[in-house]
Amino acid sequence: MSRLLLAGTIIFAWTSASADPVETKIGYLRSTEPRASLSLLQIPAENNGIAGAQLATDDNNTTGKFLNQRFSLEDVRLGESDDAAAAA
């Protein structure tokens, strides 16, 4: 029984490693309007949200190497009259 389980595990690992990685695309939608600041000392960074999303994507790609997954991030800036549903 253990030989059959070992053979199944090896075959599963071999087929998983030989397949193309699964690609997951992540869209980051943001508006282009200016950000309000509370004071001169607390001005939000220009890349405040996208920097965190890029860091998370990089971390996921590090783990994804072992799971045969790949993640990509697309930054989309929306104007005041742009439709968010259409951009997604």
Cα separation, 84 vs 45, whole angstroms: 23
Interval 10-35: pLDDT, tens: 655 555 556 788 999 999 888 877 77
Cα separation, 80 vs 30, whole angstroms: 10
Cα separation, 88 vs 70, whole angstroms: 20
Cα separation, 35 vs 43, whole angstroms: 8
Beta bridge partners of 70: 23
Calculate what percentage of the chain has a pLDDT beyond 70: 78
- The answer to whether the CB of 32 falls within 8 A of the CB of 78 is yes
